[in-house]
Chains A and B, each alone.
Chain A
Amino acid sequence: MMSYVYDLMKTPFVLALIKIVILLVVAFTVIAYITLVERRLLGFFQSRLGPNRVGPLGLIQPIADGVKLFIKEDTVPIHSNSLLFRIAPIFTFFPSLVGFGVLTFALPWITPASKMHLFALADVDLGVLLVLSLSSLGIFGLMLGGYASGSKYPYFGGLRACSQMLSYEVPLTLSIITVVMMANSFRLSDIVTAQQTHRLYFFIPLIISFVIYLICMIAETNRTPFDLPEGESEIIGFHTEYSGMRFGFYYVGEYTNVVFLSMLAPALFLGGYDIPFVNDIALWQVYPQLISILGFCSYAIKSVLFAYFYIWVRATFPRYRYDQLLKIGWLVLLPISLVNLFIVAGIKLFLLK
């Protein structure tokens, strides 16, 4: 029996299934606990203690929140388009969850049994393009949610959210394109390998696109300086008619996006699973398993830095007005990123032969 199970484990299909389950479990726990971390850190920034009552250090708080959301009454308005109303929350959170599959978390730890990469689920050729298209799919959730609610206010909120996310996706894409040009590949692991071989993280030569990416990633996930679509207590957003777990799904979707974009950023700009100040590839040939685990740790630390940046910015800046938001998007970020793109393209063409 055991040998049969062991043989089954070696097949690539089952191994992939196991990896999917592990990835989902880890992703969900991280998403659940980033809500707690955010609330506690926001407390620290405002010199108070965050939620610390439920369990030691408030560690059971996310579970309590989830239970509360599930128990709440789930209402569907009469005038709403009920099918779209039910589908829309899943649309926000599913695409970014798919995006986790594209990431590569460490240098390959190849098992002797089956020649599979243990720290990557699907290292697709056009990984970056897939990520970008998935993130634009996420807009549908907000738009459909606003449209299907059957009320004017969520409708306008949905339109607002849609135009914001569309306008900030252009500079985001353009800043990522510069990275792709430097690395000569759309595959995420190739981008990291390029940074490892050059021994230079891309945020140094591409500092402008790095800053643009930082701004756009906050705007993409509707977080605080740009949180007009939601506007937690002040503005009527697209999810006004939602209640219970459907409302919770919008928040889970937002936090999934936060986690995903803060895991994508180190791969693009900070060298991903590369350990700083160490020649990774040379060492990897000697101690493959040690280096891949250490690389995984460094990747985790880097993405935690980005998640911290999200919360830090949320604690610091007030919200932009809507016209200011669109002005920043179209009149500042877009020209800068276009010029940046041309400069990087010129340097790539003529200087780095």
Chain B
Amino acid sequence: MSGGYMSMGEAHRRILEYLNRFSDAVSSQDGKSLSRLLSISSDSHHLLSLADALNTFQDANRLIRQSDEYSQYADILLPVFRAFQSYRLRNLVESYQAFEKAANAFIQEFRNWESAWALEALYVLTFEIRILAERADRELASNGKTPEKLKGAGSLLMKVFSTLAGKGPKRVGALHVTCQLFKIYFKLGTVHLCRSVIRSIETARIFDFEEFPVRDKVTYMYYTGRLEVYNENFPAADQKLSYALTHCDLRKEANLRMILKYLIPVKLSIGILPKALLLENYNLNEYSNIVLALKRGDLRLLRHALLEHEDRFLRSGVYLVLEKLELQVYQRLLKKIHIIQKQKDPSKAHQIKLEIIVKAMKWLEIDMDVDEVECIMSILIYKNLVKGYFAHKSKVVVLSKQDPFPKLNGKPISS
């Protein structure tokens, strides 16, 4: 308890002060102060002492109902007070429930306001809803109950979205809510729900994407980019994540790192390698061995690096992307053999015997027999990573004399 014991009068005073501020903020259309009054999880001194006051002075409802000025917002204020109280008592599930109710009432009210002055407060509301829901779910889970509040928050935000997604000044807030929704869906693992929101953002004519605030655009591009990574649509993922990277505030290193975490695998899979400095600067060392393996054609190193960070890659969802780099490593290895052969005997350099490759694999301590290597070569040729053909009878890869190892140069491996 920050204030320790609080007298009844003091509690009464604080509650009235809050109510005053609230109605002032609404009547003067001051979104900023209003948002401060709603940021329950900010743990600000004012709100904490308000919560204490509410717990001391139990009859705050009467205060609200007494005055016309406050009672018109009773639908918002009553549950908000309950949310504060429960929050203070660390009863997060109840706090969330009350806050959700307040949010619903607020949205109702928000719809009636012509201008978008309260957007900021709405942002805070959506943020708080999400945070509270996450915490409430943790509480529920620790009590052995089904965590479902975040899901509920998702549908609430969906409603907020539909409130904003119309013509008028409020529509610039739609992307912010969308981003909050993305966060919820990614957390819940129900990313398929993103699709409908994305569709309405990208196809609705009322939205001019460039009109949205930059921070929302970056967040949006980050999440849609991640979705493209799941779909292994690398060019689109590259475009979206690059957009996010270039527009992201350079001071937000954590955000930059998050973007790079996905952008690097995407770039790698379209044949673009990052500089070592970049990995170092953003503490993305889990990729350094992978980059090295690609440069060296060292399959063993790649596999080792994947194994080492398997959990991390699986969780972030780039594991499968990185695994597919194997083919590029094979290509690199073949190229190396080709170069070595050219140094020895330029006339026969374009013919690589299968057994040489098998030997190279053995040297890398990778156990593969001739059939398997032949299969790999076949796939390399099929995917156009190697130009040439395979002569089965003589077990030789015959490379094209012109550009036998085409570079990807930003194009994905053809399937």
Pairing of A with B: no
* B interface list, Cβ under 8 A from A: none
* A interface list, Cβ under 8 A from B: none
